[in-house]
Chains A and B, each alone.
Chain A
Amino acid sequence: MTAHHLAQLNLVELRAPLESPEYAGFVALLDPINTLADRSPGFVWRLRAEDGADATSLRPFGPDVLVNLTVWETREALWDFTYRSGHLDALRRRREWFSPMARPSQVMWWTPAGTLPTVAEAARRLALLTEHGPGPDAFTFKDDVPAPGTPAAGLPG
């Protein structure tokens, strides 16, 4: 097993209160998609409110900013859930609910297996990406950053 897991922070900005009708379709997807994540191969952990099934009531990045913070065993596990599962159809509809944010809204980093990231840590990683661009400590799917202690991924044959 790898000694590191992949943590990802993802933010979206609400255009109206989450309780408003225009978010009914999004809210209806929360439970099924979260359940899908929980059951996906390589899923480790996701941030939830202490008394909730999800993190929608937590607003550490602003009153209108929803936070998604997860940990996965590998990059491939996160990729397959994000883009190769029923989650893709929800992503396809993202602009029905969320506009692109003016600042970076997504960051990932390697975290020692067995430790869970805090929101403060996630904020620090996002700030790193925002200020310095992608690097070994803060990156995105577009960057090929191998887990510490593993060789860089080779080019496909």
Chain B
Amino acid sequence: MSTAQTGGDGDGRAVPAAGGPGADLDALASLADPLRRALYDYVAAQDHEVSRNEAAEAVGAQRQLAAFHLDRLVAAGLLAEERRKLSGRQGPGSGRPAKVYRRAERQRTVQLPPRDYEAAAHLLAEAVERAGADAALHAAAREAGERRGAAAARERGGAGPASAAELLAALAAMGYEPADGSAAGAVRLRNCPFHTLAGAYPPLACGMNLALLEGLVAGLGAEGVRPRLDPAPGRCCVVLSKNNED
């Protein structure tokens, strides 16, 4: 492991970074435009591919203007586009595929001055792997999660168990992008904050992640919620299920 995997596709293959920190900084700079930022935030938050019309409506912009900025975001590598025949259209012209957008897989990282904690994380993971020290990592992760949860509980100030909204806020603050599935009895996490590590060291990173979330739930005082591994392609390996759903 000689480089940080800033572009890993999550299945263990090492993908070298292209362009370096300068390219990432340029990409992020294109978000300085408020409308472009709003469009990016909206598309990134959806669990489906977004059409130009939907994006324009969501941010209250004209369709042509939204399309211009969406394409600029694609050019910057922040969004990915596909052409798809949209359902529900009939009649002449309905057969022409329309552009739809989703967040690009590519990871962008900017740390100034330059830092590379991701390369360090991969090296440390390799060392834990070789030493077979999974239990020590799980214990450390659980304690770190408890501390974060306890800190969030202190900020809240109130006594008693954390509400579902507080749990979601804590998860969002850690980058998990929780999708509130209260109706389904489980909270799924749309993003893995440790994506490239989980691609290179799945048992280690997913075990660490589970322990971290177990700690968070305990520290926060979120009752009736149990994190468990339920991996599937395209999302975090952990789901938080209601205890009574088991």
Given contacts A94-B203, A142-B14, are A88 and B134 in contact (CB under 8 A)?
no
At the interface, yes or no: B25 with Cβ under 8 Å from chain A?
no
Q: Which of B15, B130, B132, B232 contacts A95 (CB 8 A)?
A: B132
- Compute the total of residue contacts between A and B using a CB distance below 8 Å: 62
Which chain A residues (95-117) contact chain B, with CB distance < 8 Å?
95, 99-100
Residue A85 is within 8 A (CB to CB) of chain B in the complex: yes
Given contacts A83-B231, A144-B13, 17 further A-B contacts (CB under 8 A): A79-B12, A80-B233, A82-B202, A83-B203, A84-B233, A88-B231, A88-B237, A91-B202, A92-B210, A95-B134, A100-B130, A142-B12, A156-B9, A157-B80, A157-B104, A157-B105, A157-B106
Q: Give complex CA distance A79, B144 in Å.
A: 30
A49 within 8 A of B: no
A37-94 interface (Cβ within 8 A of B):
76, 79-80, 82-85, 88-89, 91-92, 94
* A153–B233 CA distance with the chains assembled, in angstroms: 18
- Is there contact, CB below 8 Å, between A155 and B105? no
A residues adjacent to B (C-beta < 8 A) = 76, 79-80, 82-85, 88-89, 91-92, 94-95, 99-100, 141-142, 144, 153, 155-157
B13 to A95, Cβ gap below 8 A?
no
List A contacts of B207 (CB < 8 A). 92
Q: Is the CB of B132 within 8 A of A100?
A: yes
A153 touches B130 (CB 8 A): no
Q: How far is the CA of A49 from the CA of B36 in the complex (A)?
A: 61
User: A-contacting residues of B (Cβ < 8 Å)?
Assistant: 7, 9, 11-15, 18, 80, 104-106, 129-135, 200, 202-203, 206-207, 210, 228-229, 231-233, 237
The reply to whether A95 and B202 form a contact with Cβ atoms under 8 Å apart is no
What residues of B have a CB within 8 angstroms of the CB of A141 in the complex? 11-12
Are A156 and B105 in contact, with the CB atoms below 8 A?
yes
Is the Cβ of A95 less than 8 Å from the Cβ of B135?
A: yes
Chain A residues with CB under 8 A of B104: 157
Bound together, the chains give a CA A144 to CA B8 distance in angstroms of 13
Query: Are A156 and B129 closer than 8 Å at their CB atoms?
Result: no
